[in-house]
Amino acid sequence: MQIYDTEINSRLLVGTAQYPSPAVLVDAINSCRCEIVTVSLRRENADGSGTGFWDTLRQTGTRILPNTAGCHSVQEAVTTAQMARELFGTNWIKLEVIGHADNLQPDVFGLVEAARILCAQGFQVFPYTTDDLVVGEKLLEAGCEVLMPWGAPIGSGQGLRNPDALRGMRAHFPNVPLIVDAGIGRPSDACQAMELGMDAVLLNTAIAKAGDPAAMAQAMAQAVDAGRAGYLADPMERRNMAIPSTPILGMAELA
């Protein structure tokens, strides 16, 4: 999978919040063999001091995708992104501009504006967006080369609430990397997203809040691989009527 100028082998991206301990987080990352983890700037102080969370992540060998989690305005998101670039030394940024306090739905108007500003400043933006085709077009016009539509509200574990819309995005943007971000609760959800043709899945709460985060991380990785393989195998289309798998022609006639 090619994301901007980087080739990625794992199609599972993992968040780093809400884990019981840093050790559990590291075990989960190692179990799923992910190559990209997201981290909020709030995990570190601006001078790099504090909890040492950044050092813990560096030990895993994963690539850091900073995010602007919790930002509700364009200015807040842009400033947070600029600080993240300075701290983490990367042009990658997962852009969140939250518009609704309860369901954490993106403010797509602010999102497009912030994306345009950051792309002009040399950022490689991963926008957390809805499954709206027009918004997707606007984000690509702003300079984004990847789209991250939600499956369901962040942390809800509801799975894919609108798989038809995601299927439509895949058809409308055949050459754009699509990463389902938010809402995945079970391995079957991740598998479904990949079967729809998504390029990757980003999840956090489903692993962090599982009874055994490392085991769930491994299950999610396997589900992503299975869903991708199923999509590439070109599954049969669903039918309204039964069709016998054994042909009638040639069967014995019993008197």
Burial call 39-72: b when 16+ CB within 10 Å, e when fewer = bbbebbeeeeeeeebbebbeebebbbbbbbbebe
pLDDT digits (tens, 9 = 90+) for 124-149: 999 999 999 999 999 999 999 999 99
Taking 60 as the threshold, does the pLDDT of residue 239 lie above it? Answer: yes
Does the annotation list 182 as a binding residue?
yes
For the chain, the structural domain boundaries read: 2-233
Taking a C-beta distance cutoff of 8 angstroms, is the pair 160, 194 a contact? no
**pLDDT number for residue 246:** 73
Bigger pLDDT: 47 vs 112 = 112
pLDDT digits (tens, 9 = 90+) for 1-28: 899 989 999 999 999 988 999 899 999 9
CATH topology of domain 2-233: TIM Barrel (3.20.20)
Q: Give the H/E segment covering residue 203.
A: strand 200-203
Contacts of 1 (CB under 8 A, 6+ apart): 7, 8, 9, 11, 177, 199, 200
pLDDT digits (tens, 9 = 90+) for 76-105: 999 999 999 998 889 999 999 998 887 788
**pLDDT number for residue 32:** 92
Question: Does the global pTM surpass 0.75?
Answer: yes
Does the annotation list 204 as a binding residue?
yes
Taking 70 as the threshold, does the pLDDT of residue 155 lie above it? Answer: yes
Does the annotation list 183 as a binding residue?
yes
pLDDT digits (tens, 9 = 90+) for 179-209: 999 999 999 999 999 999 999 999 999 999 9
In this prediction, residue 51 has a pLDDT band, given cuts at 50, 70 and 90, of: low
**pLDDT number for residue 177:** 96
Catalytic annotation, residues: 94
Tokens coding 58: 């560096």
Contacts of 184 (CB under 8 A, 6+ apart): 151, 152, 157, 159, 190, 193, 201, 203, 206, 220
Taking a C-beta distance cutoff of 8 angstroms, is the pair 26, 50 a contact? no
Average pLDDT over residues 42-67: 72
